[in-house]
Amino acid sequence: MPSATSLPLIIAGPILRHCDEQHFTLWFVSRERLSGLRLALMGAEFDRQLSDKEAHCIRLGEHAFQYLINVSQDKLLPRNTTLQYQVFDANAKNLFDDLDTLNYPDTKPCEFVVKPQIDKLLHGSCRNAHHHSSDALVAADTQLLQNPNINQRPALLMMSGDQVYVDDVAGPMLFAIGQVIEILGLNQEEFVDAPLTDSSQISYQPAAMYQRHINLLPKTQYKAKTAITSWYINHPIFTSSIAENHLVSLNELIALYLLYWSPELWQLIEIPKDVSGLSKTHNQRWQREWTHLLEFKAGLKQVRRLMAHVPTYMIFDDHDITDDWNLTARWELAAYGHAFSKRIIGNALIAYTLFQGLGNAPSRFDGEITPDLNRFFEQPTADAQDALIEKLLSFEHWHYSLQTTPKLLVLDTRTRRWRSESNLGKPSGLMDWEALMEFQAELVNQPNVIIVSPAPMYGVKLIETVQRVATLCGGSLLVDAENWMAHPGTANTLLSIFQHRKTPEQFIILSGDVHYSFSYDVRIRFRHGGPQIYQITCSGFKNQFPEKLLPIFDKLNGWLYGHFSPLNFFTKRKRMSIRGRRPNGERSKRLVNNSGIGVVEIAADGAPTKIGVLHSDMSETEFLPPRH
């Protein structure tokens, strides 16, 4: 086992986060507490020592210190100008000098550009480390490498959910997590109402893999109701079908995030390909996952370079916390009514806050969350952990907006749900009435907007119909029936917002979640003019839909719910005309099942001039407008 002395100074990062004309935000993790940090922004005439608030430090473990540099002042960063950043410690050493493959050729400090007018952006979701597909973030970095013109770089990278998979962890990844916990000295914690008294009792040996859904995760007895009858079942609270290695402790989650982003940690870890103690089936699974993780590891330096040079924004979806998170009111009652499951969910929220949430809009956390976060990591007791989790579970400011042109609104579709009043087992709406009214208020007087919704607002109707049938049979959790149309109140309110005459004339909706890509042009039927809506879905960065199934859904959806089908008039979105764009001009195909990253180019009036996907093999799909 490598010792802490072999750790590099910078363990993870740097990742460029919220950056505009008034803000510069940078995230990284070091092996030790740093002093006298100084930030130099070349091209912005900024070079000075940072205060403790501007260089916010959280001690994650004995040898892991997270830094979030957040500098705010008027006219901090000039627009459309090549900018460079360096961070120096008390010894006047640039912290990032020794990082391999951090910079593009012929550049030394990290370069970026602030574009208040969004002319091009990258977007996508769903990055599963051990999926057999390749990592599209590597392809995005390769494209930037091939085009050195910084003015042609995207204005931002939007990661719209499932940046990590907490509930779907490979056996070799869990083995690596155990090593990271030991190398970094990450804190242990006590459990209540759990099979183990504390996290130090968790085994990371191969023989203990693929057993957590049986031996560790809590279950509950609750009623499942269908249109015909009802029955009681002993249902697991954590409903993922692949929850055998579902993470539970905070130190595991911290280690997972670092392994998703840190090429250096992987150099210190040795994962055996051949192990003992597993069944034949699990041994074969270990071998497959081991191979896919090697491929994932190989691209991490390029992923880090991309995120160090392009401002990156994030929002959670379900797998960042757990599958089916808050999908139904009954699930919430079961999950938050059990001390251990509440701790597991809360730990994932703490990790999301640290590694994703804070960097989106640091000031939103200052009053309510950051003091409790500091208090807990300074003295990590069970009471402080529970108090922090309570704060996070009641926090209502995960959403945020960017004052760009077009204005960009990032929605929280997970924590402010519109619960079903007729049946607690039915899917909750993705946003409740109050959240939707706040959303509408953000749209007033905007000529055009970009909306980031983790789940597509306009999905594939056939798949939504299958989910609706499964819901009637009591199986909403089995088919992940979480779409905007699943709850009547949310669906009707959302559609009314789009039809309101005071809302923007042009919408671009970016979404992910579904593990395939597609694009729709949406208009209001029977109205001259009215808003132009472009629904653009790109998923996943490193994930795909089952290959044999999606072409069938694509074909059937075209037959049953094509543009001219009368069945459209029996759906909630009957007042909307929805036309699927043609991937690379194909005649009947509308869905693309190939891991990739979305590329959207936007004209000055806010309309997309190009909607495409850059795939992990460097091929491209362009969604062409429908024939009229």
> What CATH number corresponds to the domain at position 490?
3.60.21
**525 domain residue, yes or no:** yes
Give residue 467's pLDDT.
61
Distances (CA, A) of 204 to 11, 134, 193, 284, 584: 22, 27, 21, 18, 46
Q: Is the pLDDT of residue 229 over 60?
A: no
Distance CA(143)–CA(326), nearest Å, equals 38
pLDDT tier at 228, thresholds 50, 70, 90 = very low
Distance CA(474)–CA(225), nearest Å, equals 5
Whether the model clears a pTM of 0.85, i.e. scores above it, the answer is yes
**605 domain residue, yes or no:** yes
What DSSP letter does each residue of 138-192 carry, written as one string? HHHHHHHHH---GGGS-SEEEE-S-SS-SS---HHHHHHHHHHHHHHTBPP-B-S
Give residue 477's pLDDT.
53
Using a 10 angstrom Cβ sphere, with 0-12 exposed, 13-18 middle and 19 or more buried, the burial of residue 620 is middle
**240 domain residue, yes or no:** no
**267 domain residue, yes or no:** no
What's the pLDDT tens digit per position in 398-442? 999 999 999 999 999 999 998 887 778 788 889 999 999 999 999
Distance CA(25)–CA(44), nearest Å, equals 14
Q: Give the residue-averaged pLDDT of 192-206.
A: 94
Whose CA is closest to 112, among 146, 138, 151? 151
% pLDDT > 90, the chain: 71
Distance CA(164)–CA(246), nearest Å, equals 12
CB under 8 A, 24+ apart: contacts of 221-227? 222/330, 222/333, 222/334, 223/330, 223/425, 224/425, 224/474, 225/423, 225/425, 225/474, 226/472, 226/473, 226/474, 227/472, 227/473
Contacts of 110 (CB under 8 A, 6+ apart): 14, 16, 84, 85, 86, 96, 102, 103, 308, 309
Q: Is the pLDDT of residue 93 over 90?
A: no
Give residue 3's pLDDT.
59
pLDDT tier at 121, thresholds 50, 70, 90 = very high
Give residue 421's pLDDT.
76
Give residue 568's pLDDT.
64
Per 3-state DSSP, the chain is made up of helix, strand and coil in percentages (nearest 5) of 30, 25, 45
Distance CA(364)–CA(100), nearest Å, equals 34
Distance CA(127)–CA(161), nearest Å, equals 9
- CB-based contact 73:22 (threshold 8 Å): yes
% pLDDT > 70, the chain: 91
- The b-or-e profile of 275-287 (16+ CB within 10 A means b, else e) is beebeeebeebbe
**215 domain residue, yes or no:** no
Give residue 181's pLDDT.
97
What DSSP letter does each residue of 316-371 carry, written as one string? --STTT-TTTT-BHHHHHHHHTSHHHHHHHHHHHHHHIIIIIHHH-GGGGTTTTHH
How many domains are there within the chain?
Answer: 1
Distance CA(178)–CA(205), nearest Å, equals 9
pLDDT tier at 626, thresholds 50, 70, 90 = confident
What's the pLDDT tens digit per position in 575-611? 778 888 999 999 888 999 999 999 999 999 999 999 9
Give residue 445's pLDDT.
87
- CB-based contact 602:550 (threshold 8 Å): no
Q: Is the pLDDT of residue 186 over 90?
A: yes
Q: Is the pLDDT of residue 573 over 70?
A: no
Distance CA(321)–CA(344), nearest Å, equals 9
Q: Is the pLDDT of residue 76 over 90?
A: yes
Q: Is the pLDDT of residue 542 over 80?
A: yes
Q: Give the residue-averaged pLDDT of 156-161.
A: 97
What's the pLDDT tens digit per position in 289-347? 999 999 999 999 999 999 999 999 999 999 999 998 998 888 899 999 999 999 999 99
Among the listed ranges 143-157, 369-383, 449-463, which one has the minimum average pLDDT value?
449-463
DSSP-derived 3-state class of residue 41: strand
The reply to whether omega before 551 is within 30° of 0 (cis) is no
What's the pLDDT tens digit per position in 39-62? 999 999 899 999 999 999 999 999
Q: Which two tokens stand for residue 210?
A: 């693929």
Give residue 232's pLDDT.
45
**270 domain residue, yes or no:** no
**125 domain residue, yes or no:** yes
Query: Bigger pLDDT: 402 or 527?
Result: 402
Query: Bigger pLDDT: 24 or 571?
Result: 24
Query: Bigger pLDDT: 477 or 111?
Result: 111
Give residue 231's pLDDT.
45
Give residue 148's pLDDT.
86
**427 domain residue, yes or no:** yes
Q: Is the pLDDT of residue 222 over 60?
A: no
pLDDT tier at 6, thresholds 50, 70, 90 = confident
Q: Tell me which H or E stretch contains 557.
A: helix 550-561
Beta partners for 414?
A: none
Distance CA(564)–CA(17), nearest Å, equals 44
Domain range for 113 is 12-167+303-621
Please provide the average confidence, as pLDDT, over all residues in the chain.
90
Distance CA(81)–CA(86), nearest Å, equals 16
Give residue 169's pLDDT.
97
pLDDT tier at 77, thresholds 50, 70, 90 = very high
